[in-house]
Amino acid sequence: MTHLQISADLSYRLAAPCTILVQVEVAATAGQKPVDARIDIGPATGKTIVPAHDGIGTRLWTTQQEQLTISYAAQVAIDRANPDFAALPATALPDLPGEAVPYLFNSLYCSVHAFDQLVATEFAGLNGGPLVAAMADYIRQTMRYGSDADNVHNDAGQSFAARKGVCRDYAHILISMARSANIPARFASTYAPDVSPQDFHAVAEVFLDGRWHLVDPTGMAKPSDMAVIGIGRDATDVSFLTAFGAMNMVEQRVRVTRA
């Protein structure tokens, strides 16, 4: 059992009244339980809570005038084992549950066929968990961690071609590779204590042996230390902040420690 202390503080200036969709709260789901959680959004007090993608976690709608401030804090108890990928077989396609099927297909940042040739040649003879583990190792070894202004909107293929990216890009690449191998894969937004620099952290989640398993191709976080915020087809579905109007960041701080 791992206990995390989490806080996130965000501040933005708005050019005009703006409606904003916020997703920063840890989901109450299998393997994790947020306690003593609170979120303050202002200056306006109005907000509407809606379920997040696939019903995992929640989102908040809020409309602000000139400024947006968000303060979130929680303690989270995590009871999740680290998977032994060597022992996880692939699930046959006809045996996939309906919830997993959409994660075999293309999404905005994850093309199913972008890595067909690489997967077929680099990982020949592997399948299931050993294949996913080999893919994650390969991404970690061939990519350089870092961000440039021109790679913010890269899809998985573009990020891999640049051989550089942040956790979001690493996750997109692994998701695309897994889907190319007919393994359902989705994007997970998380908090984790050993991420450097400290921030919201993106990982992949793959469907093997009849269930979902978290995997971090950056190598910075273990599933037993991850507090999941939400999941989606790619980063589009799990943005911590989506503004339907113009806004500029003033400050963003995320802190995650073991309690």
Give residue 28's pLDDT: 96
What does the alpha-carbon distance between residue 139 and residue 132 come to, in Å, rounded to a whole number? 11
Whether residues 189 and 114 fall in one domain: yes
Whether omega for the bond prior to residue 94 falls within 30 degrees of 0, making it cis, is: no
Whether residues 159 and 99 fall in one domain: yes
Whether residues 18 and 106 fall in one domain: no
Give the model's confidence band at 153: pLDDT under 50 very low, under 70 low, under 90 confident, else very high. confident
Give residue 75's pLDDT: 97
Whether residues 172 and 132 fall in one domain: yes
CA distances from 96 to 92, 204, 211, 244 (A): 7, 18, 9, 36
- Residues paired with 244 in a beta bridge: 19
pLDDT tens sequence across 9-22: 999 999 999 999 99
Question: Cα–chain-centroid distance for residue 65?
Answer: 29
Whether residues 25 and 153 fall in one domain: no
Average pLDDT for the chain: 95
pLDDT tens sequence across 89-101: 999 999 999 999 9
% pLDDT > 70, the chain: 99
Once rounded to an integer, what is the mean pLDDT over residues 71-95? 97
> How many structural domains comprise the chain?
2
Sign of the C-alpha dihedral, residues 215, 162, 159, 225? positive
Whether residues 209 and 232 fall in one domain: yes
Tokens encoding 245: 């109007």
Whether residues 155 and 245 fall in one domain: no
Please say if the pLDDT value at position 152 is more than 80. no
Once rounded to an integer, what is the mean pLDDT over residues 164-182? 97
Whether residues 54 and 130 fall in one domain: no
Please say if the pLDDT value at position 53 is more than 60. yes
Give residue 150's pLDDT: 60
What CATH code is carried by the domain that includes residue 22? 2.60.40.2250
CA distances from 146 to 98, 160, 210, 218 (A): 36, 13, 34, 11
Please say if the pLDDT value at position 149 is more than 80. no
CA distances from 103 to 26, 140, 191, 206 (A): 22, 22, 22, 9
Helices (H), 94-253: 116-122, 128-142, 156-162, 167-180
pLDDT tens sequence across 104-140: 999 999 999 999 999 999 999 999 999 999 999 999 9
Give residue 23's pLDDT: 98
The domain containing residue 33 runs over which residues? 2-79+240-258
Whether residues 230 and 245 fall in one domain: no
Whether residues 167 and 68 fall in one domain: no
pLDDT tens sequence across 200-237: 999 999 999 999 999 999 999 999 999 999 999 999 99
Sign of the C-alpha dihedral, residues 103, 157, 235, 123? positive
The residue among 47, 59, 42 whose CA lies nearest residue 241 is: 59
Give residue 210's pLDDT: 96
